[in-house]
Amino acid sequence: MNQPFSRFLSLEGFTILKALSWVKELASFESNACEDKDTIITIPNIKNLKLDVIKNIRHFWNQDSSFDHICASLVRLEVWKCDSLINLGIDLSFFENLTTLDVWKCKEMLALITSSKARSLVCLVTMRIRECEMMREVIVSEEDDTSYEIVFSELKRLELHCLESLASFCSGSYTLRFPSLEQVTISQCPRMKNFYQGELTTPKLHKVQLTETDFRGRWVGDLNATVEQLFKEQAGYRGLKHMKFSMFPELIDIWSRNPQEMLDFIALEYLEVCDSSKLRFIFNLSTAFSLRQLRQMEIKRCGNLEQVIKEEGSSIMVEEATIHSSKIISIFPRLQSVMVESCPNMTSFYLGSKGLECLSLVEIKVADCSNMTTFISTFSRDEDREAIIGDEVDNAATFFSDKVRFSFNESSLIHLSYMANNDS
């Protein structure tokens, strides 16, 4: 079987190396001309290089490889979707002329570069690192690094975005200087407790932006103190689109204490809650109303969970959310899929005084929830008592009743299994 087709594309001075699924390091190319029976690829001296979707690459190249002189004049490097790449473990001379470094969606990358190699980034002007979910720090410290300083002489712009595991920019005992740094954007880095705890200087920096359009930014005297304050305020969770509670166990305490504190999740599109014994419900109505972008929800193995949504608080808010005189509340306008699995104490998806409308919902899977007899339960606020809709799950019509409204059609999926408690 032929290997997947590989490509060098030169577009307006930009060399794109794309879709090389068989390459484990770029030293696989032994010379400036790469040949197979289908094609001959001539590799030019490169100034702008983009590595895109090279899934199996773990290293760039070793010292004295053919790529060492091919990229000697490299000015711009983009590394996108190189899933197996751990770090930029390449020779120091490679970075000497680099002005732009952009790393995106390298999901196995733990750090960008070592502290000794970072010293060669003397011309770097822009650094962007985005959506590398395993990255813990940008510069990883080496032994005996106390005797030198790292100076990013020309760096003006630094962007760190959606780095779920990032704890700090770097660790170590060296001196870190950014004499030209003017713009720092840190967004969706919820575990970033500090920037750097050693000696740090940023004389031209006066704010940290939470988004590219956050021109006012935040500032608490210096860069490290500002990052520490943002961590205390949980600012790193703002704007997250995908949330797995298993990755952020610290949120369970906050959520179980007061879901109202979590209203910054307005951009959330995917939510997974697994293996939690603390939560009795996940959303109150205030939180549910705010999640207008939510598209998919998965809830598994939550032993004490009784409902996903529970109506609490003022009846005024409930009345304002009611659609005309139909006594139906509309929530999650974009929610398409719900999966609930192995939640033995769950009695219903929703508990409230009104019916429920989710007009985009087309897929519902419920399995191994032995006490769940109905999708929604309602109670009367006047009589302060609960009136369960549906006594047993013998078919989908009984399960959903007339208090729930969806837009099901012939392509919709409803899967109910092992739900009713059949004990006499």
Span 188-203, pLDDT tens digits: 999 999 999 999 999 9
Mean per-residue pLDDT, 271-297: 89
Q: Determine contact, residues 342/305, Cβ cutoff 8 Å.
A: no
Residue 414 has pLDDT above 80, yes or no: no
pLDDT category at 1 given cuts 50, 70, 90 is very low
What average pLDDT is seen over the chain?
78
Q: How far apart are CA 268 and CA 64, in angstroms?
A: 47
pLDDT category at 387 given cuts 50, 70, 90 is very low
Q: Determine contact, residues 48/17, Cβ cutoff 8 Å.
A: no
| pLDDT value at residue 105 | 94
| pLDDT value at residue 422 | 47
Per-residue model confidence as pLDDT tens digits over 141-151: 886 666 679 99
DSSP 15-83: EEEE--TT-SBGGG--SSEEE-SS-EEEPPP-SEEEEE--TT--B---TTSHHHHHTTT--EEEEE--T
Q: How far apart are CA 150 and CA 176, in angstroms?
A: 5
Q: Which of 156-165, 232-241, 245-254, 401-410 has the highest mean pLDDT?
A: 156-165
Q: Determine contact, residues 234/190, Cβ cutoff 8 Å.
A: yes
| pLDDT value at residue 152 | 96
Q: Which two tokens stand for residue 78?
A: 């983009």
Q: How far apart are CA 279 and CA 281, in angstroms?
A: 5
Mean per-residue pLDDT, 315-336: 70
Q: Determine contact, residues 385/379, Cβ cutoff 8 Å.
A: yes
Q: Which is more confidently placed, 45 or 243?
A: 243
Write down the pTM of the prediction: 0.77
| pLDDT value at residue 270 | 95
Residue 58 has pLDDT above 80, yes or no: no
| pLDDT value at residue 389 | 37
Residue 10 has pLDDT above 80, yes or no: no
Q: Name the 3-class secondary structure at 228.
A: helix
